[in-house]
Amino acid sequence: MRRISLLIILLAMTLSSAAKDFTVVIDAGHGGKDPGAISANKKIREKDITLKVALMVGEAIAKNHPEVKVLYTRKTDVFVGLNDRARIANRAEADLFISIHTNAAKNRSAKGAETYILGIEEERTERNLDIAKRENGVIFLEDNHEKQYANFNPNSPESYIIFEYMQSEFVKESIHMAQYVQENLTSEANRHDRGVRQAGFLVLHATSMPSVLVELGYISNNEEASYLASSNGQKRLSQCIIKAFDNYYTDLKKQSTGPTQDKRTTQTTTKTKNEDTAKPSSQTADEKHPVFKVQFLSSSTKLKQGDKAFKGLNPVEHYYDKGLYKYTYGSTTDYNEIVRLKKKVNEKFKDAFIVAFIRDERIDTKEAIALYKKQNP
């Protein structure tokens, strides 16, 4: 009898330890002495919205998936440093990190939702850099921030060079989750789609697992601020993240329980290898001259030629990189010509920037310019 009881106890302990085999950390942005972004009427604060949404997301995940361990970086209105948020996730050996925020801009008409992963590709754009500066600026409220963040200055573009050579080993999984979040925000909550993007967020840089940062909307836009502050808005937005988690987690379970690979992951892998890369008309296979283009847009889904998102630019080429379709205009080996084209594109897309290729392979733009000058003294 004692032997049977011991076996039952051991079995219960085994099941208990196996039950919490997945941990997700929900990060409510800002808090305490850091209000985050504030609405035009000064009544709506980012820290309040993110906390309410984070708690709803966590509670629903725990209810829908009892086997999942849900942790929070904060559950009350307290200040938590960026590194401390990442430490909570890292010490728990979390499997997913979801950071929740609201956006803000000087342009009060700016609107829409966007989901970020760690990266540098779009960091060179003015808008993405501004968002990263604002979110990273919280370190100035932390004690001894110079030492903690190795003299990183959120307001200095030069500080973001550290992200240029950084490639997260979890980029595929992060994109996977980010795509689900973004799709739900646009289809379920009818938010204006600003896409899946990349930026140098310190909180994502410090985590050691797939991580996303969700910007639910613009608190600086009066209409969106009211929606973000409403119970209905917060409920719908939280449901979008909950559904995204459900999809992501289901995909992971499918991958771990059978030979059938998740369709979305398979497509990402296949497209990375086989996706047609826009080939510049002025380039042949044996040429070593860099080809310059103007990149103006990224999206998680493939857009057709003539799509209204291109704002009349035609023809448009694309290449597929890190789970995103990246769209370019123009193709020339003349750097001076691409500078002129960039000015034209900037009239429609102010964040557009120059990219360079050799034999259809993306190369560092600074290196390409140096090579061009060497070849054209």
Domain ranges of the chain: 2-257, 275-375
Taking the whole predicted model, whether its pTM rises above 0.75 is answered as no
What kind of fold does domain 2-257 have according to CATH? Aminopeptidase (3.40.630)
Look at residue 169 in the predicted model and tell me its pLDDT: 59
pLDDT per position in the chain (377 positions), as tens? 444 444 444 444 443 433 458 999 999 999 999 999 999 999 999 999 999 999 999 999 999 999 999 999 999 999 998 888 988 998 888 999 999 999 998 899 999 999 988 875 544 455 555 656 556 555 555 666 555 655 565 555 555 544 544 445 577 888 899 999 999 999 999 999 999 988 777 777 778 789 999 999 999 999 999 999 999 999 999 999 999 999 999 998 887 664 433 333 333 332 333 333 333 334 443 357 899 999 888 766 678 888 888 888 999 999 887 666 788 999 999 999 999 999 998 888 766 889 999 988 888 888 888 898 888 88
Nearest to 53 by CA among 191, 221, 238, 186: 238
**Gap between the Cα atoms of 120 and 248, Å rounded:** 24
Helix spans in the chain (H): 2-19, 46-64, 82-91, 126-136, 145-148, 171-187, 202-205, 222-229, 231-257, 263-274, 335-346, 365-375
Q: Is the dihedral of CA 357, 123, 155, 90 positive or negative?
A: negative
Q: What is the largest CA-CA distance in the chain?
A: 91
- Token pair, residue 152, equals 């990183």
Count other C-beta atoms under 10 Å from residue 153's C-beta.
17
Distance of CA 7 to the CA centre of its chain: 47
Tell me the CB-side half-sphere exposure of residue 249, using CA atoms within 13 A.
21
Residues 193, 314, 363: CA angle, nearest 5 degrees: 80
Compute the radius of gyration of the chain from its Cα atoms: 23
